[in-house]
Amino acid sequence: MKKQRCIVKIINISRQGEVKHFQVRIPENATVITGIETAVRMKGLVSISNNSFVVPNIGPGMGNPPVSDFSPNPFGSDLAIPVMRSLVGELKLQSCEEANIFYATDITDPSAQENLEKVPTPSAIIENVWTHGYKRELEEVLINGNTTMLAGLYKDKLGAMQGRDATYDVFLYVWYKLENKKQ
Amino acid sequence: MIKTIYKRFDLKVTEAAKTVSQSFELDKNIVAVKGLYITSDRRDLLYFRGSQRIEINKDELFPENYLSELLMSGINVPVNNRYYDLGNVDPGNKIVKMDFADSNSNVPFTAYTVSLFLKCDKDDSK
C-alpha cells in the first residue's frame, strides 16, 4: 500500500516585487509527487479595491466595511491602477530531473472574496470567505519522485501593483506517495 | 454490518500564538476513517490564525503548518461534499492526535473552540 505524505514550504515576502528562489527537498522514499496545494496568509497591508488600502479588522459577522471608510489611495484618486483584487503573486516549480517547469499558478488571496456566490441568506448574514468559501482542492500533478529536489520561484505581484511593501507568507504543500515499509 | 458515523472532538484555544495538543480516542468498533472536517465557533479566527498537524494511529495525515483554511468548507459547498476525503485510513490504536497552532495575524485574538469532525465506518458486529 502506498501512503501519502506532505512537505510544507513557507515563503516569506516582505518587499514589493520581491522574487524568491527556493528549493523543496524530496525524501528518498518518495515514489511519485501527486499534488500541489498553495495558500497565502497576509500579515500587513491588504488590497481591498482598486483605489483603497486597508488593514483588515475582522470581527464576527462584520464583513467588509464600506469602501468610503478606508484610507484613500496614496497615488491619488484620479490614477487608475489595474489591480486584480485577489492576485498576490505567481509561483513556478521545476523538477530537477526534467526540463521546463511542471507547475505554475497565480497565488490569490481568497479573503478578497472575488469568487463568492451570493447565495440567498438573511440580510444580517454577510458573505465571507470563512462562512461561504469553497472547499479547497488539491491540484493533481504526476512527477517522478526520484528527483532530489524541486526548484521553485515566487514573484510578488501584490506589492508591485500597489507600489508599496506587502508582508505575507505563501504556503506551498507538495504531496507525494511513498512505499510502505511492509512491501 | 458497516455503518457510517460522525465523531466530534473539541479543542479549546485560550492563548494567542500557542500550540495546543490534544489526543482523542475513537470507539473500538470503528474500522476506518473516511473523512475529516474542521470548523469553529469563531470561523474567522480559525481561517486566519489556525494551522494544525493531525495524526491517526501515529500516522501523520497533515503536517505541521497545514493551514486550517484548507480543511474548511463554507455553506456554498454541498453538505455531502464538505468533508476532506481521507480514503480509508486504518484507525489502528484508535488514537487521533491534533496539534493545533494559533498564530498572530491581522485578526485580533479571542478564545475560541476548534471542532474536528471525523467521518468513520463502524462495524456493529465487533
First to last CA, chain B: 9
Q: How far is CA A60 from the centre of its chain?
A: 24
A59: its cell numbers: 470581527
Which whole number is the average pLDDT over B76-103?
94
Which whole number is the average pLDDT over B71-83?
91
State the Cα–Cα distance between residues A30 and A4, nearest whole angstrom. Answer: 9
Q: What pTM did the predictor assign?
A: 0.83
**Closest to B101 measured CA to CA, from B62, B56, B57, B58:** B62
Output the average pLDDT for chain B. Answer: 95
What is the residue range of B101's domain? 2-123
Asked if A58 has any chain B CB less than 8 Å from its own CB, the reply is yes
Q: What does the buried/exposed string (b/e) look like for B24-36 if buried means 16 or more CB atoms within 10 Å of the residue's CB? A: bebeeebebbbbb
CB-CB contact of B51 with B67 (8 Å): yes
State the Cα–Cα distance between residues A114 and B88, nearest whole angstrom. Answer: 35
A51: its cell numbers: 483605489
Would the CB atoms of A134 and B81 count as touching at under 8 Å?
Answer: no
Would the CB atoms of A55 and B63 count as touching at under 8 Å?
Answer: no
Residue B22: strand pairing partners: B98
Least confident of A43-47, A154-158, B29-33: A43-47
A71-99 residue pLDDT tens:
344 444 444 444 446 899 999 999 988 88
User: Helices (H), strands (E): how many in chain B?
Assistant: 1, 8
Q: Label residue B15 by pLDDT band (50, 70, 90).
A: very high
Tell me what pLDDT residue A77 has: 43
Would the CB atoms of B74 and A5 count as touching at under 8 Å?
Answer: no
Tell me what pLDDT residue B105 has: 87
Task: Give me the residue from B42, B62, B73 closest to A60, CB to CB.
Answer: B42
Total tally of structural domains belonging to chain B: 1
Contact residues for B6 (Cβ-Cβ < 8 A; gap 6+): B117, B118, B119, B120
Which whole number is the average pLDDT over B16-43?
96
Please give the helix or strand (H or E) that residue B45 lies within, else none. helix B43-49
Q: Label residue A183 by pLDDT band (50, 70, 90).
A: very low
| CATH number of the domain residue B42 falls in | 2.60.120
A105: its cell numbers: 499558478
A97-132 residue pLDDT tens:
888 899 999 999 877 766 565 555 666 667 788 888
A21-72 residue pLDDT tens:
999 999 999 999 999 999 999 886 554 444 444 444 444 444 444 333 333 4
Tell me what pLDDT residue A98 has: 80
Would the CB atoms of B44 and A60 count as touching at under 8 Å?
Answer: yes
Q: Label residue B60 by pLDDT band (50, 70, 90).
A: very high
Whether ipTM tops 0.90, in short, is: yes
DSSP codes joined into one string, chain A:
-EEEEEEEEEEEE-STT-EEEEEEEPPTTEEEEEEEEEEEEE-S-EEEETTEEE-----TTT-PPPGGGSEEPTT-TTS-----TTEEEEEEEEETTSSS-SEEEEEE-GGG-SS-------TTPPP-HHHHPPPP-PEEEEEETT-SEEEEEEEE-HHHHHTS---EEEEEEEEEEEE-TT-
Q: Which residues of B touch A131 (CB under 8 A)?
A: 43, 74-75
State the Cα–Cα distance between residues A115 and A170, nearest whole angstrom. Answer: 20
Asked if A25 has any chain B CB less than 8 Å from its own CB, the reply is no
Least confident of A71-75, A158-162, B31-35, B49-53: A71-75
Which whole number is the average pLDDT over A6-12?
97
On the CB side of B24, how many CA atoms lie within 13 Å of its CA?
A: 18
CB-CB contact of B119 with B77 (8 Å): no
Tell me what pLDDT residue A47 has: 44
pLDDT over 80 (residue B2):
yes
Tell me what pLDDT residue A113 has: 63
Q: Where are the domains of chain A?
A: 2-179
Single-letter code of the amino acid located at B50? G
Q: Which residues of A touch B85 (CB under 8 A)?
A: none
A21: its cell numbers: 528562489
Contact residues for A69 (Cβ-Cβ < 8 A; gap 6+): none
Specify burial of residue A98 (Cβ count, 10 A radius: 0-12, 13-18, 19+): exposed
Tell me what pLDDT residue A48 has: 43
